[in-house]
Structure 1
Amino acid sequence: MAYTAGMRSLVLVGHGSHLNAESAAAVYRYAELLRSRRLFDEVVEGYWKEEPSLRQVLKTCTYTDVTIIPMFISEGYFTETVIPRELGLGHQGVVPPEGVARTLGGRTVRYTLPYGVHPAMTEVILERAREVLPDASGEDTALIIIGHGTTRNENSNKVVHQNADLLRQRGLFSEVHALFLDEEPKVTGWREKVGARRVVMVPFFASEGWHTLETIPEDLGLEGVVTVFPAQAEGTPEGAGEQTVYYGKPVGTHPAVADVIVQLAEEARGASLTGGDRAPEHRAAWDALLALAGDGVRMGEIMVTPHGGLFEIRHALDEGRSSETLTTLVTPDGLRDHTRLTESGEHRPVHTLRNLRRGWRAVLAAGDLQRAIHTLYPAVVEEGYACHTHALRSTPWPTTARRQTGIYSKVQKASPEQVEHVAREVCGGCLKTRVWAGERLSQTFFGGVPGAIPCAEACTFLVAEIREEVAGKRGQGSGHSH
């Protein structure tokens, strides 16, 4: 079935991070690549730990035909529990090969398996191997696929073993091994298992990060792309000679992953040949915003003004500054890259915190305005308009807490006093008004009050901080759960 263009939203879901801006980089890169191919009317990013959050992302989709693809390398806790729960799919556990289809809020939503388990990933592994060793031979070259491994979910290592089995059957390498960082068989013992003279190692990871850049090279003693290990090193098989390791890049960063994503979208259960329409509530919100923008509008820390057939966005505190003194940005992606960090270089996982950097102006065509504002303030237009028209549904803290699982289920034990104490500190620096906590918001920026932005539900950043408070670790800089 050909997946033709027309009235479709594609959502790429990543984990994200409250601490590290690089965690979301791979998802952004694939979204840009897929936008350039124009196979979908829009491509939207959504995250567990950043914005737009999984609770918000469907609201930000323009169309009623939505396909959601988890940007994860394997099945596991996030793809089977967290993402379906936060999206409200009414599904928990193993996702069937054809995916899960639901009708939610007037939208047809299809949720697929993570891209890493798609059969086409076997070829991506081969491409990564050929990059570092083009003349890999079935006579003297071993392939090691390095997985993370975990004891929390048995499905997480399954795809690594499956790909190793498939490539072993093809006979392209003298040996093929699936080895792991955190479970047996561990990659640190590779010399006890591999006898081949040349060894290609390919990390089965979604992105370039701490493990691929630091943990694996340090644990294995790799010195770069090519490392020579001398003969008869301790623990090697009897008679083993000198071995040369060729260390590839992670499979998840290969451009061919974009093709895998498109294939997943094609195969999604019930995929429509004609696509959907614009979602009525989404259209109403953005039509209202564009009408305001035609005369100039302020929202949060930004101001939008018409500018000779284009629109200019800048920080409201830069009003009146000469354009020559500001960095000019001409694409939503450039705007995103410029504003994801604070003035001092800190990551901004919550976009409505009052720390948007100054010194820039974005000059954009009308067709780019929606994505630009969405980039700066995800879901703010949709939720702001719902509040303005008295249609916003808020989620009180007890409901949010009861929904949490895994390490976050601990927040269910938080007392009202603890929740309020943490919220005062965390939310005090945010533009939003805590409607979920009962605070009143009689006006919004749609009514001419720039800083009047509703918060319909406690964000994941606050949830994580409350967990730290309950655990007695808040302020100790542990940060691992963020």
Structure 2
Amino acid sequence: MRSLVLIGHGSHLNGESALAVYRYAELIRERGLYDEVIEGYWKEEPSLRQVLKTTASTDVTVIPLFISEGYFTEVVIPRELGLGHQGPVPPGGVARVIGGRTVRYTLPYGVHPSMTDVILARAREVLPDATAEDTALIVLGHGTTRNENSNKIVYHNAELLRQGGQFAEVHALFLDEDPKVGTWPEVVKAPRVVVVPFFASEGWHTLETIPEDMGLSGEVTVFPENPAGAQTVYYARPVGTHPRVADVILHLAEEASGAAGAGGDLERGHEHAWQVFLKQAQVGLRMGEVLIRPDSGVFEMRHALDEGLPGGDLKTLVTPEGVRDHIRFDDGGDHRPVHTLRNLPRGWRAVLSDHDLRRAVHYLYPAVVEETYAHTCHALRATPWPTTARRQTGIYARVQKATPEQVEHVAGDICKSCLRTRLWAGHKLPKTFLDGVPGGIPCAEACTLLVAEIREEVAGKRGQGAGHSHD
């Protein structure tokens, strides 16, 4: 048995950020090469701290769906997964045994050699007749001052495409380091300009920041009076959302150190947790804000506040993905990065087999079954706030300066809307939903949303609309 875990950045603010990861998980799941494909995120759920608990196999391969090597792939993800590794990842990846699971961690997909072809494919989509006579290509990266490796792959691909001779000019520009994208009118001379964002997904940068910095009004923008004369810019979709990336991911997984072995076994603790859950579901179960009941050989799941409403009055969902997509936003259309917040949308019912129920509940409340079962077995270890704070690096290291009063003030604001009980703050949870207590869900560690809000509090910016720093 083998599990594949795809790690994305995610967002506290933008529901679009996770879509590329979901899409590749679905494409790979359809091929049947792995027994399960699980998504995990830095800024959404299941979090990096939770995601390994949600894998059913003792053989796990983790692929970071990032566009380049850098701070996240070399520091944040290995740290949060507990890999005991920091710094550049070797070509064959890193292998560790964590909690009885063999975990292989690979390079990010963006550094794979075939990504040059993906850039070219994106360019041809937006301008099929691009020529070496009149068309320039801009490979646009994020860039960062935190890790010098992050821009190397952008320069490398730009050089390969330059050598290919299919464009009059090829430039590497960046959002957060020189040469910056806003300088493009002074740099590019060709009358037609194709811009391909070397980004993993659609999000705030590709939808707002880049168009704003470049002065774009849509997919095609005409600039009649640039320094080089009239120029037309063709703005492509990010490379990370191209279907070919699924093949790149599988190549990385196959090339990972030790991946050619016989595979693993069912992880016993994980399987026991779900068997206990399914046994409870067979007689009816209230879990957080949902009711789960047996119904003529299948299970029905709905919002507890919709109990008693005729099925015909509710939107019927019949797949785990249908549940996932419906509950990602609240009734007001706002993104729900923390799924145990008390804002689950109403007006739906899911009708699912026992197999699909497991996946749907995983999407509904990621890692909740595993962590709750571990708590009932006295095996869930809480991480106190000071430990979580000390682990933070980069822009989040500031939370180490938060006073206990600041932490409690922010937690009182954020956590009051959450179903979980804060074990990490010393709160007690004698009974859980597995014991029949609807709101009995443990919280072993402060979530990334709370960490981000505490950072804003320490900086004196909380409530001032500085939310983009969360992402």
Q: TM-score, normalised on structure 1?
A: 0.93
**2 CA distance for matches of 1:466 and 1:52?**
20
**1 CA distance for matches of 2:148 and 2:246?**
27
- Paired residue for 1:328, among 286, 299, 316? 316
**2 CA distance for matches of 1:84 and 1:98?**
15
Instruction: Determine the structure 1 residue equivalent to 2:330.
Output: 342
- When structure 1 is superposed on structure 2, of 241-250 and 53-62 the one drifting more is 241-250
Equivalent residue runs for 1:213-252 within 5 Å: 213-230=207-224, 233-236=225-228, 242-252=230-240
Equivalent residue runs for 1:172-321 within 5 Å: 172-230=166-224, 233-236=225-228, 242-321=230-309
**2 CA distance for matches of 1:132 and 1:354?**
42
Instruction: Determine the structure 1 residue equivalent to 2:441.
Output: 453
**1 CA distance for matches of 2:13 and 2:211?**
23
Q: Show CA shifts across 1:109-146 (max 9, x none).
A: 11111111111100101111111222333344332211
**1 CA distance for matches of 2:63 and 2:17?**
17
**1 CA distance for matches of 2:221 and 2:453?**
43
1:44 aligns with 2:42: no
1:368 aligns with 2:356: yes
1:169 aligns with 2:163: yes
Q: Show CA shifts across 1:367-423 (max 9, x none).
A: 111110111111110011111122211111111111111121122222222222222
- When structure 1 is superposed on structure 2, of 323-332 and 461-470 the one drifting more is 461-470
How many angstroms does 1:214 deviate by?
Answer: 3.2
Whether the aligned pair in 1 keeps the contact of 2:285 and 2:293 (CA below 8 Å) is yes
SS at match of 1:179: strand
How many angstroms does 1:246 deviate by?
Answer: 2.8
Instruction: Determine the structure 1 residue equivalent to 2:14.
Output: 20
**2 CA distance for matches of 1:180 and 1:401?**
31
Instruction: Determine the structure 1 residue equivalent to 2:100.
Output: 106
- Paired residue for 1:474, among 442, 462, 469? 462
Equivalent residue runs for 1:42-191 within 5 Å: 42-191=36-185
**2 CA distance for matches of 1:427 and 1:210?**
26
Equivalent residue runs for 1:434-453 within 5 Å: 434-453=422-441
Instruction: Determine the structure 2 residue equivalent to 1:427.
Output: 415
**1 CA distance for matches of 2:440 and 2:348?**
23
Q: Show CA shifts across 1:333-356 (max 9, x none).
A: 111111111112222111111121
SS at match of 2:80: helix
In structure 2, the CA distance between the partners of 1:160 and 1:389, relative to structure 1 (3 Å rule), is same
Instruction: Determine the structure 2 residue equivalent to 1:388.
Output: 376
Q: Show CA shifts across 1:60-103 (max 9, x none).
A: 01111111111111111111111111100111111112111111
In structure 2, the CA distance between the partners of 1:364 and 1:189, relative to structure 1 (3 Å rule), is same
**2 CA distance for matches of 1:169 and 1:128?**
18
How many angstroms does 1:37 deviate by?
Answer: 2.0
**1 CA distance for matches of 2:217 and 2:425?**
53
SS at match of 1:110: strand
**2 CA distance for matches of 1:173 and 1:80?**
33
Whether the aligned pair in 1 keeps the contact of 2:14 and 2:203 (CA below 8 Å) is no
**2 CA distance for matches of 1:142 and 1:61?**
45
**1 CA distance for matches of 2:179 and 2:89?**
27
- Paired residue for 1:357, among 325, 345, 348? 345
- When structure 1 is superposed on structure 2, of 160-169 and 22-31 the one drifting more is 22-31
Whether the aligned pair in 1 keeps the contact of 2:254 and 2:260 (CA below 8 Å) is no
SS at match of 1:344: coil
**2 CA distance for matches of 1:400 and 1:365?**
38
Q: Show CA shifts across 1:250-300 (max 9, x none).
A: 111111111111111111111133211111100110111111111221111
Taking every aligned residue pair, what percent have the same amino acid on both sides?
74
SS at match of 1:480: helix
In structure 2, give the amino acid aligned to 1:126: L
**2 CA distance for matches of 1:288 and 1:270?**
33
Whether the aligned pair in 1 keeps the contact of 2:138 and 2:196 (CA below 8 Å) is yes
Instruction: Determine the structure 2 residue equivalent to 1:410.
Output: 398
**2 CA distance for matches of 1:183 and 1:224?**
24
SS at match of 1:83: helix
In structure 2, give the amino acid aligned to 1:358: R
Instruction: Determine the structure 2 residue equivalent to 1:4.
Output: none
In structure 1, give the amino acid aligned to 2:358: Q
In structure 2, give the amino acid aligned to 1:371: R
In structure 1, give the amino acid aligned to 2:364: L
Instruction: Show structure 2 runs of 5+ residues with no match.
Output: none
In structure 2, the CA distance between the partners of 1:105 and 1:272, relative to structure 1 (3 Å rule), is farther
Q: TM-score, normalised on structure 2?
A: 0.95
In structure 2, the CA distance between the partners of 1:18 and 1:234, relative to structure 1 (3 Å rule), is closer
How large is the Cα RMSD of the aligned pairs? Answer: 1.7
SS at match of 2:51: coil
What count of residue pairs does the alignment treat as equivalent? 470
**1 CA distance for matches of 2:39 and 2:351?**
22
- Paired residue for 2:365, among 377, 380, 392? 377
Instruction: Determine the structure 2 residue equivalent to 1:3.
Output: none
**2 CA distance for matches of 1:445 and 1:214?**
42
How many angstroms does 1:47 deviate by?
Answer: 1.1
**2 CA distance for matches of 1:212 and 1:257?**
18
- When structure 1 is superposed on structure 2, of 273-282 and 119-128 the one drifting more is 273-282
SS at match of 1:145: strand
In structure 2, give the amino acid aligned to 1:133: L
**2 CA distance for matches of 1:153 and 1:338?**
37
